[in-house]
Amino acid sequence: MSDVLSQAYEVLNKAKVYYEGRAVGTIASNDPNAPADNYADCFVRDFVPSAFVFLLDGDTEIVRNFLQIILTLRDQQAEQEGHQMLPRVMPASFRVTFREDGGQDVHADFGDRAIGRVAPVDSMMWWLVILAAYTRVSGDDSLVRDDEVQRGIRMIMNICLRDHFEVFPTLLVPDASFMIDRRMGVYGHPLEIQSLFYAILNVGRELLDADDPDCHPVLEQMAKRLDLLTDYVRRFYWLDLARLNDIHRYRTEVFGHDSNNQLNIYPESIPEWVVDWLPDEAGYLVGNLGPGRMDFRFFSLGNLLAVMFGLAERNHSERIMQVFETRWDSLIGTMPVKICYPAMEGQEWHLSTGSDPKNTPWSYHNGGNWPTLLWPFVAAALAVGREDLARRSYELAFNRLPGDRWPEYYDGRSGRFIGRRANYNQTWSAASLILAQKFLDDPEAVQRLALGRAE
Ligand code: GLC
């Protein structure tokens, strides 16, 4: 193994969290100077690349323990006065602490300890994706057949399928409910959540016990929603030059079902940058969509997951990877991968982030580059036969991460600086490099983890 990868493993292994003698997860960062208190937590979303590495290395026990502990933690969710309790969701993270008597406690965080008090909608989705990967790789289906686990899966599905205020097949969520967990104008129907929703509707079918009559209604609803969601996203989120030209010429205020501008998007809302930036041949899925609102920003994770899981149709998936190639300087630069493009500046930043000093232009969530996005990039590139792009991005990360001490994120238009408030030894930065290497060595590993395109 190369020296770089052994260093990455060192970061990963040092991050392991133990509860009653068993490894149950990995903490977000091993940086003693981490600015936020909760970087000592094990986050569900951060554990994703670690879990996949452990599974591919045959260390399935830690993943099983993690899945179980998360399930039991649901009961720690406090009731909120004046709210009717939803079936219990999954926590964003948990932390293991020592009592004076030497015993240990586990504390779950449902977003109530996080900065800004945000709802981690993606947690329950990632939990299911990890469960599917565990079940496939380990060949152990005793966990997924367990009554509590089946109940957990049904609950997650019911939360997602239940009507709240939706009028679209996409899932309606508040700001900051996924990897971007600060205010960034991403409320409504952000792409990342829709890609994960698509993934769990697919893997959920595999995980739910079809012989159990209790599951039939939910399975039926899942199948219908999956079709509707897929059609809707493929049709309305897709943006290429032809589509942009349509929007440019849209008639607005048109009543009735046959309008081609059902969401009443105003041509005047097309931002200046996209007109020149959008390549002739390529295209992508827009970041968010709602009534009178199209967020034209390019959000990498949502697009990459759409390619990897197959929410984006084949031809569109190829063209999404082509955007990365044609706009390499914008989206990859010196460190894969930019979280979103372009950054919000000036008045837009002021209004949409609430003047967040951590999310200044080209920093952190507002256009920073995140090494953890390497693994979905490599998986997505391989899914459409672009090993060249996968290798090119891998090289950049490989050559730079260890010398920079595995930062959490990078700043600047092309990611030249280590992020101003970035932690060092960020676990998912290291795990992502290892996982990317595994996918490059053996592209079949993506399928083995149940992460492949459902086609
Ligand atoms: C930041 C990131 C979030 C991550 C957490 C722990 O809050 O925005 O996605 O889970 O740090 O690393």
Contacts of 327 (CB under 8 A, 6+ apart): 277, 279, 282, 341
Tokens of 69: 């502990």
Mean pLDDT of 128-157: 96
Hey, which of 114-123, 256-265, 390-399 has the most confident mean pLDDT? 390-399
Q: State the amino acid at position 164 in one-letter form.
A: H
Q: Whose CA is nearest to atom 1 of ligand 1?
A: 181
Helix (H, G, I), strand (E, B) or coil at 43: strand
Closest atom of ligand 1 to CA, residue 46: 10
Mean pLDDT of the chain: 95
181 lines ligand 1 (CB under 6 A): yes
Mean pLDDT of 387-411: 98
**What radius of gyration do the chain's Cα atoms show?**
21
- Interval 410-455: pLDDT, tens: 999 999 999 999 999 999 999 999 999 999 999 999 999 999 998 7
- Burial status of residue 38 (CB atoms within 10 A of its CB: 0-12, 13-18, 19 or more): middle
Mean pLDDT of 315-334: 98
Contacts of 195 (CB under 8 A, 6+ apart): 301, 302, 305, 306, 309, 311
Alpha-carbon dihedral sign for residues 176, 118, 371, 390: negative
Element (H, E) at 298: strand 298-299
d(CA 102, CA 17): 16
Residue 430: C-alpha distances to residues 209, 236, 256 (Å): 36, 36, 52
Q: How confident is the model at residue 76 (pLDDT cuts 50, 70, 90)?
A: confident
Mutation test residue for ligand 1: of 39, 46, 365, the one with most atoms within 8 Å of CB: 46
Mutation test residue for ligand 1: of 29, 31, 45, 420, the one with most atoms within 8 Å of CB: 45
DSSP 291: T
- Interval 125-141: pLDDT, tens: 999 999 999 999 999 99
Closest atom of ligand 1 to CA, residue 428: 12
Cα of 219 vs centre of ligand 1, distance in Å, is 32
pTM for this model (two decimals): 0.97
Percent of the chain topping pLDDT 70: 99
d(CA 415, CA 409): 8
Lowest mean pLDDT among 112-121, 243-252, 423-432: 112-121
Task: Write the secondary structure of 394-440 as one string of H (helix), E (strand) and C (coil).
Answer: HHHHHHHCCCCCCCCCEECCCCCEECCCCCCCEHHHHHHHHHHHHHH
Q: Which residues of 335-348 are buried (b: 16+ CB within 10 A; e: fewer)?
A: bbbbbbbbbbeeee
Q: How confident is the model at residue 88 (pLDDT cuts 50, 70, 90)?
A: low
pLDDT at 259 over 90: no
Tokens 């670690």 -> residue: 50
